[in-house]
Amino acid sequence: MLRFRTGLRHATLALACVTLRAGWCAAAPAAADSPIEPGFDYHSYANVDQFRVTHIEMDLQVDLDNKVIDGVVALELKRLDPRATQVVLDTKGLTINDVSQKATDVLGATAKSQTVWVSRPFHMDKPDPILGSALVIDLPPSHKAVESIKIEYLTVPTAAALQWLTPKQTAGRHKGFLYTQSEPIGARSWIPLQDTPQVRATYTATIHTDRGLRAVMSAENDPKHKANGEYSFVMPQPIPSYLIALAVGDIEFKETGPRTGVYAEKSMVGAAAKEFADTESMVATGEKLFGPYRWGRYDILVLPPSFPVGGMENPRLSFITPTVIAGDKSLVSVIAHELAHSWSGNLVTNATWRDVWLNEGFTVFLESRITAAVYGEQRESMEAVLGLQALRENLGKLEPKDQVLAIDLRDRDPDLAFSEVPYQKGRLFLRFLESKFGRERFDAFLHAYFDHFAFKSITTEQFNEFLQTNLLDRFPGIVTRDQVLTWEHAPGIPADAVLPTSSAFEPVDQARAAWLAGTLAAKKLGLDWVTQQWLYFLNNLPAALQPKQLAELDDARGLTRSQNAEIEQSWLKIAIRNNYQPSYPRLEEYLKSIGRRKLIVPLYAELMKTPSGTAFAKRVYAKARPGYHPDTVAALDPMVDPDAADAADTPLR
């Protein structure tokens, strides 16, 4: 995976490093063999020091019957090195049919200019299981500032970032569905490009698909466009490749405000618009707190239940799991989160996956501010406590080297970066800074940070540099550089963390103790509790409960039948732990109908702890696996069915 780490590239990075304030560079942890190079993307083959993609033009034929995208992509590249004779792109599982270079031909007497494309030699390097194959294109050396190349290609049905759903796997059940999930390095499985977050490009796209289906993208969408099978998109702001997103299906639109709306399948669109009715006020709150919203509209696409993550912050059009539709807006902090990425992540982006905490830690912090402003401080404090509990549980399972913010991912799947650490520990770090410098100063710092790095991709070291100048030096004697480095590079939760508490959980603790002691009946429990209080109640019950207690709780509160996907998941975990059979039919249905990793992976993990649970898990998994997204399958195969990973239908990752 380091084949393209040329001497030239080493030299450039070393130079970039010494230009930073002395000390921040040295902060990077040294691996056993060699020190990590901040800013070097170990998960891309692209020779970004010689060429940089600035614009992408796609023409894609989406074939739902054969689960294939037949694509032509034209890349506009800024040439940084006139001597360079090769462009190296990232691909995974793509069949490349032709590569050509743009040349301008003057046509004889008419003297009319016409664009012509000249075929270029290319080859694919041996594939790496994580990174895919480098596509190496030969180009003559040139002093031109811009080069354009065109690639004709086909995807495979098992492409890592694509999930193809049969009509039966959708809510409407009569038309197929396709959606993409490109983060972190899936874009290369459906577009040949420089698949690294440090390269930003604008894009245009023409999508051809069946009449009656609608295509939507992370770009300007036109909800009034007829569903005639031909769609055009423009993304005028430069974005990293992992934010290029596409969905095709029987999708309808409903407005929720002047610049917000919801796309979903017909049967979902009404409920989704009701659930996400506060989106417009969330955008207004975000602008008030963090500066202008720079992406035009903010729409939400609700996906079928197999969507593997809670939400994906594709710019202008967040992709969201339907499992956050609870009927009472109690789980919409996911929307606040994806919207917050419009500042942290989409506007200011991590330069490599080592720096992903800059995306996620900032976003959880911003999410909490939006939640507090729209739904009140109490809701925010409850979510912060639940987040801390999730972090602590996760830290218990992670090796020390994976408990740090600036994680070393060399030779590893960058998907491993997405533990609770960048999210919740990242949030705690920013909360620590806010508490030290005060909200007013810290808000001003955030504003300046988003302005300064707008539409740029940055490293942990560049953040540190900005932090030093704009906060640590400006208000000296409050936080030291060593404290910052401890947060970023030491395992666990630093001793100076400001840990959240919530008074709303005090009555829950009392009620739980009383119920466990037999002095409070289950039917009197939590008559006025909100979702977060129920989650706190369930997540903090002792591991072992009596069958009688489980039955009493279930009968009184109807937990097995809960329509709230998070409460249901907490309950099912308890049911598995205690082999509470009345919940098992619902457990099977849950595992077969939902593909969100955060919800189902812990349930399978709990099942796999006992022989009878293992048998149940294997039986259900065999039925559910074909409906899961490749990312979910990749997380579950090693745990539940290692043999399945060798089967021919294994999705590429």
Which residue numbers are catalytic? 338, 423
CA angle 205, 208, 213 (to 5 degrees): 115
Q: How far is the CB of 566 from Zn ion (least distance, A)?
A: 17
Tell me how far apart the alpha carbons of residues 261 and 298 are, in angstroms, rounded to a whole number: 7
Residues 333-362, interacting with Zn ion (CB under 5 A): 360
Alpha helix ranges (H) inside 224-323: 266-275, 279-290
Residue 152 β-bridge partners: 72, 98
Residue 71 or 310: the one with the smaller Cβ distance to Zn ion is: 310
* Identity of residue 473: D
Q: How far is the CB of 311 from Zn ion (least distance, A)?
A: 7
| Dihedrals phi, psi of 381, to nearest 5 degrees | -65, -35
Bridge-based pairing of strands 251-257 and 260-265 is antiparallel
* Identity of residue 618: K
Q: Which residues contact 212 (CB under 8 A, 6 or more apart)?
A: 175, 227, 229, 250
Residue 250 or 360: the one with the smaller Cβ distance to Zn ion is: 360
Q: How far is the CB of 350 from Zn ion (least distance, A)?
A: 11
Residue 163 or 333: the one with the smaller Cβ distance to Zn ion is: 333
Q: How far is the CB of 242 from Zn ion (least distance, A)?
A: 12
Residues 46-65, interacting with Zn ion (CB under 5 A): none
Interaxial angle between packed helices 597-607 and 611-624, expressed in degrees from 0 to 180 and rounded to the nearest 10: 140
Q: How far is the CB of 309 from Zn ion (least distance, A)?
A: 9
* Identity of residue 631: D
Count residues binding Zn ion (CB under 5 A). Answer: 2
Residue 176 or 422: the one with the smaller Cβ distance to Zn ion is: 422
Residue 213 or 388: the one with the smaller Cβ distance to Zn ion is: 388
Residue 360 or 568: the one with the smaller Cβ distance to Zn ion is: 360
- H helix or E strand, kind and range, residue 636: helix 630-640
Site string for Zn ion, 362-401 (x = CB under 5 A): -x--------------------------------------
Q: How far is the CB of 564 from Zn ion (least distance, A)?
A: 21
Residue 89 or 356: the one with the smaller Cβ distance to Zn ion is: 356
Q: Which of 347, 344, 485 is nearest to 406 (CA)?
A: 485
Residue 214 or 629: the one with the smaller Cβ distance to Zn ion is: 629
CA angle 167, 168, 173 (to 5 degrees): 65
Q: Which residues contact 183 (CB under 8 A, 6 or more apart)?
A: 242, 243, 312
Q: How far is the CB of 138 from Zn ion (least distance, A)?
A: 39
Alpha helix ranges (H) inside 355-504: 356-375, 377-395, 420, 426-437, 439-452, 460-467, 481-489
Q: Is 519 exposed, middle or buried (0-12, 13-18, 19+ CB in 10 A)?
A: exposed
Long-range CB contacts (< 8 A, 24+ apart) of 166-171?
A: 169/304, 169/306, 169/627, 170/249, 170/250, 170/265, 170/304, 171/265, 171/266, 171/267, 171/268, 171/304
Sheet holding 86-91, edge to edge: 86-91, 133-138, 122-124
Q: How far is the CB of 307 from Zn ion (least distance, A)?
A: 14
Residues at the contact surface with Zn ion, assessed by CB under 5 A: 360, 363
